[in-house]
Structure 1
């Protein structure tokens, strides 16, 4: 009996304190992720297929067009905020208690340029690190300055920040990776 309790206690400790339990393995969590131009989403209204949006890519203006609601500026909204917004628009005039689900089908691309073998645009996957992104771009060239890789990240207002990253750091959709040329 004593051994069973110890095993159960260990299991509970591992479950409570593991990175998976707290979502730390995937820092790109859809509840705080801000939608942006190029993201592809689906909007489902439970029991109301004609009010649902099968699939939409956010336009250059950061908008989608919803049945019964029209054009919505969603760039900068989290998935949860967009769900609540659509529920609010449908409540009353169209439905008593709408149940809306928004899912991200595809994140906007990220870009790798500079001293990599195959620069270009690549599909983003949650959990992507700088090292993995460079590998997708064919790896560093012989002239690459591997220790001074910068990432250009744009916020919702369109302001860009230039960050210096280590290969183990995680990227976000839309990031632009610059691999400089080494002088040595």
Structure 2
């Protein structure tokens, strides 16, 4: 009897669980049937919102689209309104082959045509082939997206998905930015139709010139060339985020370079920028103030140091040149130590200290003040012998001596 009772309870539990699952399915099916059973008329507001759903996907625009300039392509979505005895609204997309399929009418080629031309063509096609007495209106509902190729001096080259209205700056951002050695002023674009175009992107950065920040079409290839670090580069150091090498345009001023290239951080001081330049084998130091930024033309090989606000700059032949925080009472020697000490080519006994008032001192035991600049110069031996080893120097002297002895016999 107890066995029968246990079996009865087990069967009841199984059937109860199954009924619960069926009830949940019935609830879903019932909801679906209730939705299908509603009498939805053509004029129902919900139906209208479904017809115009694509409006919600329209990308943010910098301005209204000009119908005589916007070029249609595969993926663009158009809305066609046909008014006659019964109103007919047809959202339809341009197919991958460039055609527009209009139900009950047919196919019409629109890819590669301006929106203005395509609208006139579609309207004539509908009236001539299906609805001769209809009033036809066409609107662009949504903008297509497509792949474009970016190669060269960007941090992530390859194919980028863009819309037909995206400009070069957005494409470069999607490519994780320019490589430090990118020639931003010499970008080339190979258009899908075979035409080639040169773009100086710096004109957009400087003046907001939209011609230097164009839009693109399917099949276009953007090529950003690398600059030659030995021909047109400078070194950027100091209290900034993006220290390193950078390519400069011919006759580019310090002001133009600073505006487009540096990322400032807290306590960066632009009141006095130090530019180190090699002129005919002689190293010269320029202390450039803001009033001279626009007139100071950068040259290949320049070293531009951006100091820390009221900090100490350590340049020249040291292990870690750059900007260092001011510490009251510290000597020039202490700051050179903070910079890792002098290199094998530099000498602690040959330093130049440029004070914020313009005066110069050369003692490494000098107590520094805020804004001072230390330059560790090349040692005398290195200046005379360059990178020759002691053995090479001895061998050279011995050769000279032997030559002298031979000539004196």
- Structure 1 length as normaliser, TM-score? 0.67
Q: Deviations over 1:127-161 (max 9, x none)?
A: x442332122110123423222111223xxxx311
Q: Deviations over 1:40-91 (max 9, x none)?
A: 22232144336x2x231431x3212111221211122222222222222222
Give the aligned length: 151
Asked whether 1:90 is paired with 2:129, we answer no
Give the aligned partner of residue 216 of structure 2. 172
Give the aligned partner of residue 234 of structure 2. none
Matching residue within 123, 138, 144 for 1:107: 144
SS for the counterpart of 2:185 is: strand
Question: What is the 5 A alignment of 1:140-179?
Answer: 140-154=178-192, 159-167=193-201, 168=204, 169=212, 170-174=214-218, 175-179=220-224
Matching residue within 89, 108, 122 for 2:161: 122
Give the aligned partner of residue 9 of structure 1. none
Q: Which has the higher helix share?
A: 2
Following the alignment from structure 1 to structure 2, what is the Cα–Cα distance between the partners of residues 125 and 77?
13
* Residue ranges of structure 2 left out of the alignment (5+ in a row): 1-61, 205-211, 230-409
SS for the counterpart of 2:188 is: strand
Question: What is the 5 A alignment of 1:39-50?
Answer: 39-47=75-83, 48-49=87-88
Query: Which one scores higher on RCO, CA 8 angstroms, separation ≥ 6?
Result: 1
Give the aligned partner of residue 134 of structure 1. 172
* Residue ranges of structure 1 left out of the alignment (5+ in a row): 1-24
Following the alignment from structure 1 to structure 2, what is the Cα–Cα distance between the partners of residues 45 and 79?
16
Following the alignment from structure 1 to structure 2, what is the Cα–Cα distance between the partners of residues 30 and 108?
18
Matching residue within 109, 124, 135 for 1:73: 109
Following the alignment from structure 1 to structure 2, what is the Cα–Cα distance between the partners of residues 102 and 29?
12
Asked whether 1:33 is paired with 2:77, we answer no
Following the alignment from structure 2 to structure 1, what is the Cα–Cα distance between the partners of residues 199 and 75?
24
- Structure 2 length as normaliser, TM-score? 0.33
Q: Cα–Cα, structure 1 residues 43 and 173, in superposed 2: closer, same or farther, change >3 Å?
A: same
Q: Cα–Cα, structure 1 residues 136 and 75, in superposed 2: closer, same or farther, change >3 Å?
A: same
Q: Cα–Cα, structure 1 residues 129 and 118, in superposed 2: closer, same or farther, change >3 Å?
A: same
Give the aligned partner of residue 11 of structure 1. none
Q: Which has the higher strand share?
A: 1
Q: Cα–Cα, structure 1 residues 82 and 63, in superposed 2: closer, same or farther, change >3 Å?
A: same
Aligned-pair distance for 1:26?
5.0
SS for the counterpart of 1:82 is: helix
Q: Cα–Cα, structure 1 residues 90 and 129, in superposed 2: closer, same or farther, change >3 Å?
A: closer
SS for the counterpart of 2:224 is: strand
